[in-house]
Amino acid sequence: MNEKASFRKKTISSFKWGFIDNISYQVIHFVIGIVLARLLSPYEFGLVGMIAIVFAVSQSFIDSGFSQALVRKNDCTDEDYSTVFYFNLFAGIVFYLILFFAAPLISSFFNQPELVPIIRVMGINLIISSVSIIQGTIRTKRLDFKMQTKVSIIANSLSGAAGIGMAYFGYGVWSLVWQSVFRSLFSSALLWYWNNWLPKAMFNRKVLKELFPFGSKLILSGLIYTTYRNIYYLVIGKFFSPAELGYYTRAEGFNRLPSQNITAVFSRISYPLLSSINEDTETLKKGYKKLIKTATLLSFTLMIGMAASSEAMIISLVGEKWRPAVPYLQLMALSGMSYPLHSLNLNILKVRGRSDLFLKLEIIKILLGVPLILIGIWLGIIPMLIGILVASFISYYLNSLWSGVLINYGIKEQVSDIIPTLLISLIMGLVVYSLNFLVKLNPIPMLIVQTATGFLIAAVLSEIFRLEPYLELKKMIPIQKLKAIFAR
């Protein structure tokens, strides 16, 4: 099998299982979120949202960037894996102890005494996840997303069921806390059970020194990105009520399902795949162009469709008490449509070993975020979200500049590749949004009508204009098998 055919086969297989993993996660998380939102209040979601940045930053330190350095390294040994494993475990324990003793200070900052025990229990996640990072890294390096899919489905289903049960029996915010802990516990246990690797009694500081130049910049980049993505939780939690933060977190929960999971699929798959053909620039560019086109087709249609149908979606799925979250979701969805583009462009920097540029771009983007934080404090959440939308387009421009330098795929060529998809998605979104004024239906029927209309328009226009990524996706769907099943 030649290199091109091998790359295509790996891409299709990895994409299939990565897509199944994230779609299953979306569905499970979505259903669980709906049930919990009906059983709990915005205040309880807001309490957990206040400390999101604390755990996100801690997790970035624990991961340390070394796992991504291992994915990029071609000749990893047991010594490499074991050294990073023990480093991650040590970091997990250290950060848990830091959070345990800092919990009173954090709760005092938010003026919420309830946060002390919540932080100390949720902190267990840091230790649990630290022991499974290398297990996931090994499977990612092998492009084995099938096993990771099984782990994700089982862990999210079991932890979700536990959270719903606790919420039903009146445990309030603790149902969200223990759901999080159970998810980490189940995921870690299953990764260890199904993986055939065990850490050896070896630790070599030279391994860390070798990985540090690349990994250290990714640590800082990850910290900057994580802080930038979660700082709004801190700002809203500090200067607004827990209920307002609850509306924000619920809107982001809806937004995260398609946007961040599409991003996760393509980011997780593209990095090891593109790293494997890093030496062949022409093949790298061709593979990257296909990933960009496919990612934007999924992201643009889903996110614009979500923005257009957000009112019916929120009211029908989580209830009238969450209506204030509607404008939040509309703006978040429009910002989220560009997330896969950011991620894929940044992956090129990692593939080419330019973690220094990765770090510089993250610093620039967090400087853009500072005015947005001030806007949120002074003017309110809606103006802040508008600023985030503008910043997302500026960030895409900055990220794409280096793709042009490193693989000769600059922003002009990228934009020309994604404009057909953008136009089709905008037409679809305008039609779906107009149904809010043209048709008078209750929220649930309206959501069904809007969803069906959106998919139909997007599919018909893609067929008429023979949209390349749409045709590629059709090839991956076993149409003949489906026809045979329905013909029985």
How far does Cα 463 stand from its chain's mean position?
Answer: 29
Is 0.75 topped by the overall pTM? no
pLDDT at position 481 is 47
pLDDT at position 10 is 56
Cβ 133 vs Cβ 88: under 8 Å: yes
pLDDT at position 326 is 94
Task: Tell which residue, 277, 213, 200, 202, has the closest CA to residue 69.
Answer: 213
Give 386-389 contacts, CB < 8 A, sequence gap 24+.
Answer: 386/331, 388/232, 388/331, 388/332, 388/335, 389/331, 389/334, 389/335
Q: DSSP letter for 75, please.
A: S
pLDDT tens string, the chain, 488 residues long: the values are 555 555 555 555 656 666 666 667 767 877 888 899 889 888 898 888 888 888 887 877 776 567 777 776 767 788 888 888 888 899 899 999 999 999 999 999 888 899 999 999 999 999 998 888 888 877 776 666 677 778 888 999 999 999 999 999 999 999 999 999 999 999 999 989 888 788 888 888 887 777 776 666 667 766 777 777 777 888 888 888 888 888 998 898 888 777 766 776 676 666 666 766 666 777 778 878 888 888 889 889 999 999 999 999 999 988 888 999 999 999 999 998 888 888 788 777 777 777 677 777 777 877 777 787 778 778 888 888 888 888 888 888 888 887 777 788 888 888 899 999 999 999 999 999 999 999 889 999 999 999 999 999 999 999 999 888 888 777 766 544 434 433 44
Task: Tell which residue, 35, 50, 289, 297, has the closest CA to residue 161.
Answer: 35
Per the listing, tokens 């930038």 go with 228
How far does Cα 229 stand from its chain's mean position?
Answer: 11
pLDDT at position 329 is 94
pLDDT at position 396 is 86
DSSP string for 140-155: HHTT-HHHHHHHHHHH
Cβ 273 vs Cβ 287: under 8 Å: yes
State the distance between the two ends of the chain, measured CA to CA, in whole angstroms: 37
Q: Would you call 241 helix, strand, or coil by DSSP?
A: coil
Task: Tell which residue, 265, 275, 263, 229, has the closest CA to residue 249.
Answer: 229
Q: Which residues contact 282 (CB under 8 A, 6 or more apart)?
A: none
462/469 Cα distance (integer angstroms):
9
Q: Which residues contact 84 (CB under 8 A, 6 or more apart)?
A: 64, 66, 67, 70, 133, 134, 137, 207, 208, 211
Q: DSSP letter for 135, please.
A: H
The greatest distance separating any two alpha carbons of the chain, rounded to the nearest whole angstrom, comes to 68
Element housing 26 (H / E):
helix 3-39
CA distances from 102 to 54, 115, 274, 421 (A): 11, 11, 41, 48
